[in-house]
Copies of this chain bind each other. A is one copy, B any other.
Amino acid sequence: MKKDQALEALTQSLGSDSVVSADNIPSQYNTDRTSNRSGYCDMLIIPSSAEEVAKALSICNRFLIPVTPRGAGTGVTGGAIPVCGGAVLSLEKLNRIIEIDEENLIATVEPCVTTGALQKLVLAKGLFYPPDPASLEECSIGGNVAESAGGMRAVKYGTTKDYLLGCEFVTPEGKIMQTGGKFVKNATGYNMAGILVGSEGTLAVITKLIMRLIPAPTEMRDILFSFPDLESAAKAVHCITRSRVVPTAIEFMEADAVRFVAKHHQIGIPFPDAGAQLLVQIDGTASAELDSQEKAIIQAVGSNATDHIIAINDDDRTRLWSARRGIRTAIEKESPVFLAEDCVVPRAAIPLFVTEVKGFLTSQGLRSVIFGHAGDGNVHIDALRDALSDEEWDQIVPVLRKGIYQIAFRHEGTISGEHGIGCVRRDYMDLAFSSDELDLMRRIKTAFDPNGILNPGKVI
């Protein structure tokens, strides 16, 4: 059988320490953080270098073995779940920080470096790697690039894609290639890094990343605003935008999000009765600058808010962020299974979008919690399964997804802002794209991966 032949060739080429057969594969390699989903693989490959990745892919390509690349496995749309059997290619050994180049403000890293670890290391040198996905203490930077990960600071600093200057990658045919380099400007050939970002491991396996760093802000301030309702919070966001101040983050929570956290949080949260909350973060390099930003924001928000608290030190900040950071834990306590969507809409469309989605989910008989990034239009919608049976849940999820996405499209938005498509949203791509557009994506896929072995069943 070709599976056995591939396993033998892989073991011979990479050594028995780097190849594990089905029976001995720990179960976590068949899952990621996607709620209620797992897969199956026939073999696990753990290469130690780009050369070994190339050897592995070359063999799998020859035997037509599907390959699911895997970083830290923290994705929530099933990107790292092997849904077609074959091999899981774990990049866990490619976890070195190769260079922090302070002269050129550039970090060169392997894909399985933890995002948070990189941030801490560069911060100690006065530098800053801004993207901050919620899972930053565990997720890998290669996974962030694969999924085009965002985070809360996108308002001011952009997302992962704005920091990738170049990379080394291995094609499904086992060729090691380079694109970009240690420079911000580049107009030499096609922007391969541009198409690899967000391709969810379906085009190539990235083995080295060249990431842009910036000088770290030295001062930070957080302001939590309480509002009677979502409309007032939306008006406040509008006024902040008009004031031409760019906060680092503007996070919002609707009433149910506040209520859920208040119920489950051990030591209580600020403004537990708010109809909506906005958490605004500003940063910079001088107190005077932050004073004027703070003043401008409070003035812009004005009487839309009923109250606010300002945090300057870390303890205050932790307290202010406790509600926002506690949302997912609170939801899991209410209902261990839930649907997590992360649509994006033009930021001005958020209030209408949230109201309509909330209404739709309520009409489906479901409780929901809506929160997210008011500054960049990325809205997290968590719908709770509660007491529904497996069958009922499986039946309603496609209805919910389709309903939510269509509301997003109506407001000029789309399916995902930062979590990607993976396997769980793949069936909905034809809602977002025309058949011609999907056909072009498939042709690009074929250009990279003629045999279709890399991360099959994902994106397209």
Q: Which A residues fall within an 8 A CB radius of B?
A: 101-106, 126, 147-150, 154-155, 158-159, 161-162, 171, 175, 177-179, 181-195, 197-199, 214-216, 238, 241-242, 244-246, 285-286, 288-289, 292, 342, 344-348, 373, 376-378, 412-421, 429, 432-434, 436-437, 440-441, 443-444, 446-448, 459-460
Contact = CB atoms under 8 A, between A and B. Distances in A.
A378 B183 CA distance: 8
Contact of A184 (B154, B183, B184, B429): B154
Nearest to A166: B414
A190 B195 contact: yes
Contacts of A420: 187-188
A432 B177 contact: no
A190 B286 contact: no
* Most chain B CB atoms below 10 A, which of A183, A342, A348: A183
A432 to B, nearest CB: 6
Nearest to A296: B285
Contacts of A159: 184-185
A346 B441 contact: no
B241 A105 contact: yes
Which 4 A-B pairs rank lowest in CB-CB distance, beginning with the nearest?
A: A194-B194, A443-B447, A215-B244, A185-B417
Contact of A190 (B161, B193, B238, B441): B441
B347 A432 contact: no
B415 A188 contact: yes
A342 to B, nearest CB: 8
The prevalent SS among residues of A at the interface is: loop
A217 to B, nearest CB: 10
* Most chain B CB atoms below 10 A, which of A103, A241, A434: A103
Given A177-B434, A190-B459, A194-B161, A185 B443 contact: no
A175 B434 CA distance: 10
A361 B153 CA distance: 46
Given A162-B158, A189-B421, A436 B175 contact: yes
25 contacts: A101-B346, A104-B346, A171-B440, A175-B440, A177-B434, A178-B437, A179-B437, A181-B346, A182-B377, A183-B346, A183-B347, A183-B377, A183-B378, A185-B344, A186-B417, A187-B417, A188-B416, A189-B198, A189-B429, A189-B437, A190-B195, A190-B199, A191-B199, A244-B285, A288-B288
Given A190-B199, A198-B191, A376 B182 contact: no
* Most chain B CB atoms below 10 A, which of A188, A192, A433: A188
Contact of A246 (B190, B214, B292): B214
A215 B245 contact: yes
B418 A187 contact: yes
Nearest to A103: B348
A31 B214 CA distance: 40
A194 B195 CA distance: 5
B183 A345 contact: yes
A417 B434 CA distance: 35
Contact of A447 (B184, B198, B378, B447): B447
